[in-house]
Chain A
Amino acid sequence: MLNEWVDLGTLTILSIFYLFSFARVQSNFFDKYLEEKNAAILIVFGSSLLAAGINLSHISDTSSDAMRFLLSQNDWARSFGFALAFFAGMWIFSYLLFRITFLITGFLTPESELNELRKNNIEIALVHAIIILVLSFVLAPAMTRIASHFVPYPTLPF
């Protein structure tokens, strides 16, 4: 029972920190390049947060499995280490995905995407949102599968 509570507490803290820090970094990015907020920017900003949330839900499942197993082995250091590493890894992946989708959307339009967003181009914002969300749905399970390879099997019970 204690393991489940520790797992819940850790997931809560890490998830809040993950979303808070990601929203903060994204907000800074948009403030830096786009002076005024408009509907198009909000669509891209919201979709990037949603994509980060999709990635978070996948990695938290893997992290929870690993953490509860390691806690049951009384390996507290590794259980927290794995949880932290998984969340940090997925945070970086979410950020890279966001930046890469700017490149992908850039290939679809002859104009600069940032300029188009400044001009409140809803169409390009929606295309960007769809690309980042679809990529998250596709890539997050594969990322968690890679992550789960780092989780050790139990030792043989005999």
Chain B
Amino acid sequence: MKKLLFWIFLGYLIYNLLSGEEEVDETTVRPPIPEEVTFNEATGCKSFEKNWTWNSLDGVTYEMTFPVCQELYDLSVNSRENISLPEYELSDTEYAKYIYEQLLNSVEFPTDEFAEGYKKLIDEANLDYMGALNLIISSIQAIPYTLIIDGNCPFVLKGIKYINNCAPLESGQGCCGNIQPFGVYSPMEFLYHEAGDCDTRTVFAYAVLKKLGFDAVVINGEEHSMLAVHLPKKPDAGSDHIKDPWGKKYYIWELTGMDWGLGVNPDVNLDKWDIVLP
């Protein structure tokens, strides 16, 4: 009996290896969005609360609770879906800039409540400029990766299979399909779904940092997107940077995974990258 089970198990393993199919863990790491959203007097709209707990790059655990306004989300989705595409031909960088600007201008984001949440945490922890950046960015990095595409899911990208599940999966192999145009969520949608790939995250981080007054840019290249932050000196983690036309240095920041520090290069050739959102 044991031998039979062994051979069945071995056969199953060989079948999986040959067929290239892999089981993707569909464990979600965030609570689902409530089906019933009630009116909240404090926010002045139908809203529900989200709670984020994450470890900062400094090793400290932070927790933030904030309201998410359903109507603002609906407006964001509607605005994104109705973006009027340019009738003239644009380069990849110009097209990305056009879409990102439309997403940022359609709905005011972040809300005051959300920005105040970060400010309060930074004040309480008595953080300096770099500490504050670490806190904000690590809260975005802590959200599992989800591929956002304008086509259909499932999708295989760079040998990784992304399944047709738009929830934030622990495996980071979720996929949200048919997101038009350009396969990018607006910042409000990222907050709502807690799902995003490279450019969804960078646009979100850019919106938050700009609202709080930090000097950041979005950079795109090699079919990837990263955030870049200006500092007057080399960061501790790394020194890779991109320069604006005036020679001002912006140190790169990879947002698609945890523990990427400022200035650390995720194996990209920055000569092929451009500043998309200055």
Tell which of A39-47, A101-109, A131-139, A147-155 binds the partner.
Answer: A147-155
User: For the complex, what is the distance from the CA of A156 to the CA of B130, rounded to whole Å?
Assistant: 9
**Contact B232 A4, beta carbon cutoff 8 Å:** no
Is A66 engaged at the interface, CB distance under 8 Å to the other chain? yes
Tell me the smallest distance from the CB of B104 to a CB of chain A, in Å. 18
Tell which of B175-183, B188-196, B246-254 binds the partner.
Answer: B246-254
User: For the complex, what is the distance from the CA of A148 to the CA of B128, rounded to whole Å?
Assistant: 17
- Residue in A4, A62, A155, A157 whose CB lies within 8 Å of B233: A62
User: For the complex, what is the distance from the CA of A156 to the CA of B126, rounded to whole Å?
Assistant: 11
In the complex, what residues of B have CB within 8 A of residue A68's CB? 232, 248
In the complex, what residues of B have CB within 8 A of residue A156's CB? 122, 127-129, 132
Number of A-B residue pairs, CB cutoff 8 Å, is 43
Is B214 engaged at the interface, CB distance under 8 Å to the other chain? yes
Is B213 engaged at the interface, CB distance under 8 Å to the other chain? yes
Most buried by A among B128, B231, B232, B249: B232
- Residue in B212, B247, B248 whose CB lies within 8 Å of A157: B212
Most buried by B among A65, A68, A69, A158: A158
- Residue in B122, B213, B215, B232 whose CB lies within 8 Å of A151: B232
**Contact A158 B212, beta carbon cutoff 8 Å:** yes
Tell me the smallest distance from the CB of B230 to a CB of chain A, in Å. 9
Asked if A154 meets B212 with Cβ closer than 8 Å, knowing A65-B249, A68-B248, the reply is no
Please, what's the 1-or-0 string for A59-88, where 1 marks a CB less than 8 Å from any CB in chain B?
000100110111000000000000000000
Please, what's the 1-or-0 string for B104-132, where 1 marks a CB less than 8 Å from any CB in chain A?
00000000000000010010000111101
Is A145 engaged at the interface, CB distance under 8 Å to the other chain? yes
Which residue on B lies nearest to A149, using beta carbons?
B233
Is B46 engaged at the interface, CB distance under 8 Å to the other chain? no
Is B234 engaged at the interface, CB distance under 8 Å to the other chain? yes
Asked if A66 meets B212 with Cβ closer than 8 Å, knowing A4-B247, A154-B129, A158-B119, the reply is no
**Contact A154 B232, beta carbon cutoff 8 Å:** yes
User: For the complex, what is the distance from the CA of A37 to the CA of B119, rounded to whole Å?
Assistant: 66
**Contact A157 B214, beta carbon cutoff 8 Å:** yes
Tell me the smallest distance from the CB of A90 to a CB of chain B, in Å. 16
- Residue in B119, B130, B213 whose CB lies within 8 Å of A153: B130
Please, what's the 1-or-0 string for B207-240, where 1 marks a CB less than 8 Å from any CB in chain A?
0000011110000000000000001111000000
User: For the complex, what is the distance from the CA of A154 to the CA of B131, rounded to whole Å?
Assistant: 12
Given A151-B233, A152-B232; 19 other pairs, CB 8 A cutoff? A4-B246, A4-B247, A62-B233, A62-B234, A65-B232, A65-B233, A66-B233, A69-B232, A144-B234, A145-B234, A148-B233, A151-B232, A153-B128, A153-B231, A154-B231, A154-B232, A155-B129, A158-B119, A158-B213
B residues whose Cβ falls under 8 Å from a Cβ of A: 119, 122, 127-130, 132, 212-215, 231-234, 246-249
A-B contact pairs, 12 of them (CB 8 A): A62-B233, A62-B234, A66-B232, A68-B232, A144-B234, A153-B231, A154-B129, A154-B231, A155-B129, A156-B122, A156-B132, A157-B213
